[in-house]
Structure 1
Amino acid sequence: MLIDRLRSAAVLIAIALGCLFVDAKFSTPGTEGLLLVPLLLFFALGTTWDVTSLLMSSGRDVWRAGCMIAVGAISLGPAIPALVNAASQLSGGAIGTYPKDCPIGQLGWVIAMAIASLFALLIREMRTYGAVVPEQLDASTAKVDAVVLPASSSIDRTMRAAFVSLYVGLPMSLLFAIRGLGSDVSTSWGLAALLTMIATTKSADAGAYFAGKALGRHKLIPRLSPGKTWEGAVGGVVMSTLVAMACLRWLFPALVSDAIPLSSLPSIGWALILGPALAITGIVGDLAESMFKRDCGAKDSGNWLPGLGGVWDVTDSLIAATLPSFLCLAAAA
């Protein structure tokens, strides 16, 4: 129902804004984004739960606990330097700060966690390979030792777990990395960048919805999402570009202008790249979720958020938009 949708959206927005306010108020140099970790984990682990639930409900075996651990580790990989710096500040300098010349920076820890997670998933499959429950045995395969299952069973489980871990974990790690952009200039630069990314991406959803309702005639990919139209997609691009312009024109100066001259802030011209890029990739992310739901025979990805569906229904476009967001905003920093 609409009232449930509005209620869930209001609660979610209030919690997110509260976390963002706390992060803006209490972040210190070198620890930017740490206070957003609970919010990041909610979206990362909630999305993981939804994706694995869809796979399991459709009869596809996947190691959910392993996926949750892997996504958490990958998502928090870029937070390791900030954690070290926070420990240094809390200890009064007894623990050294994270070395600025360390070859393993934020994104280096993401790669390290991703590789470690993949091999952890493989090791788990190695330990359980060939193990079967008694009822799986028959007269032709019964032996004293465990029966070796077809290799595709382990391969399929590993590939599913690896996909979920990387599909959710890597984009979520870039959200934290976006928060850390421009930290050499101001502790608020990355916060402005993160808010710009979220506002630009989610406004495309609203623009596409209203433009599609008013002008939609030509279906985009009706096999995946019958409601999406080319006219709606154009409306989403226009809306996201306008919102990106507004964020660069007013949000960045409001949060960062006390630290650097206005002339040093990203120009409004970046909106002409950022807006279309996030709108288009956001649509791709939305369609990717639609494909999964249709293939699994599900209407919603979950029921964590009454009226909105699952957490994945909120993060689908953000997941796809993180890479162009990071590249554009890093170039503008």
Structure 2
Amino acid sequence: MKRILTATILIAIVLGVIFVGNGIALAILACLIALLAAYEYAELTRTGGAGVPVWWLLPAIILLFAQSQFLPLEGPLPLLSFLGLSLFTFAAFFYARTGKLQFVLPTTAEGFFGLIYVGYPLMLLPMFAAKENGKTLLVFLMLVVWTGDIAALYIGKAFGKHKLAPALSPNKTWEGAIASVVGSMLIAGILVAICDAVARRGTTVLHISEPLWQTLLLALLVNIAAQIGDLVESGIKRGVGVKDSGTLLPGHGGVLDRIDALLVAAPVLWYLLLLKDSAGLGGF
């Protein structure tokens, strides 16, 4: 019951901000989620002895989101380079003083990866909203990820017999993974039908302009990315010997546990849209 209640509240908040709020509200919400997830990530890295300094990671996340409001496409790469080099410089001098130079590279690598893993994917959410049919695009992304996760959980529990990747996540099965793909493609098809029905009523609140086969293909590829994201986070947790990334969300563990699939699915969808555009297949 806790899991269902927590999920319902989170879904209502996200959809409410997408449809009622504006780009700034969505950016603020995404930034807050990124900060909570980044804090959990930093805590996970501490078990290895080095650890990413929270005082560096959280302001770096804020800077990443702030620049996205002014230079959404040109700004991330030079800022990421600057932030990575700043952490490298600090780590070199700090560990030189403490005599633990073996931690310089791990700290820098873990910190820079934290920005790429947590900060950048969530920074894309307000950028999705700014695209043509942006609200529908965000709904598509969320529904594909959420539905795939739910299908994998319940079908996997009920019918799963063949382990998918036991070294990373012993509870995940091939049956659950296949159900996840089917569920994501099914919800994508339902969303297209809803968009068509809404369009016939003369409104574009929900609108998809691409052919059905493209939407289903996107759902398939985004689902695969989401499942990989889930496995990647499981690998991180198993590597440091913890079950959950945190305890903030009742029934779900930590924030990072809840958004792990989205962190890989979002940049994959962004890149797929770029490929569609470069191939002349039109927008979403």
What is the TM-score with the length of structure 2 in the denominator?
0.88
Give 1 or 2: higher helix fraction.
2
Question: Cα RMSD between the aligned structures?
Answer: 2.4
Aligned residue in 1 for 2:158? 214
CA distance in 1, matches of 2:254, 2:87: 25
Which AA in structure 2 matches 1:6?
Answer: I
Q: Cα distance, 1:44 vs. partner? A: 0.8
**Aligned partner (choices 7, 10, 26) of residue 9 of structure 1:** 7
Instruction: Tell me whether 1:115 sits opposite 2:118 in the alignment.
Output: no
Query: How many residues of Structure 1 are paired with residues of Structure 2 in the alignment?
Result: 275
Q: Cα distance, 1:129 vs. partner? A: 4.4
CA distance in 2, matches of 1:296, 1:129: 22
Instruction: Tell me whether 1:167 sits opposite 2:117 in the alignment.
Output: yes
Q: Cα distance, 1:76 vs. partner? A: 4.1
Q: Cα distance, 1:128 vs. partner? A: 2.7
Aligned residue in 2 for 1:88? none
Q: Match of 2:171, SS?
A: coil
Q: Match of 1:228, SS?
A: strand
In structure 1, list runs of 5 or more residues that go unmatched.
28-32, 81-104, 133-148, 183-188
Point out 4+ residue stretches in structure 1 off by more than 6 angstroms. none
Residues 258, 11 of structure 1: alpha-carbon distance in 2 compared, 3 angstrom cutoff: closer
Q: Cα distance, 1:244 vs. partner? A: 1.4
CA distance in 1, matches of 2:231, 2:12: 27
Instruction: Tell me whether 1:65 sits opposite 2:31 in the alignment.
Output: no
**1:47 touches 1:168 (CA, 8 Å); kept in 2?**
yes
Aligned residue in 2 for 1:141? none
Greater Rg, structure 1 or structure 2? Answer: 1
**1:293 touches 1:299 (CA, 8 Å); kept in 2?**
yes
CA distance in 1, matches of 2:192, 2:75: 30
**1:248 touches 1:266 (CA, 8 Å); kept in 2?**
no
Q: Match of 1:62, SS?
A: coil
**1:216 touches 1:230 (CA, 8 Å); kept in 2?**
yes
Report percent identity of matched pairs. Answer: 30
Aligned residue in 1 for 2:64? 74
Residues 124, 150 of structure 1: alpha-carbon distance in 2 compared, 3 angstrom cutoff: closer
Q: Cα distance, 1:227 vs. partner? A: 1.2
Which AA in structure 1 matches 2:3?
Answer: R
Q: Cα distance, 1:219 vs. partner? A: 0.7
CA distance in 1, matches of 2:187, 2:160: 22
CA distance in 2, matches of 1:328, 1:250: 23
Aligned residue in 1 for 2:138? 194
Q: Cα distance, 1:17 vs. partner? A: 2.8
Residues 254, 198 of structure 1: alpha-carbon distance in 2 compared, 3 angstrom cutoff: same
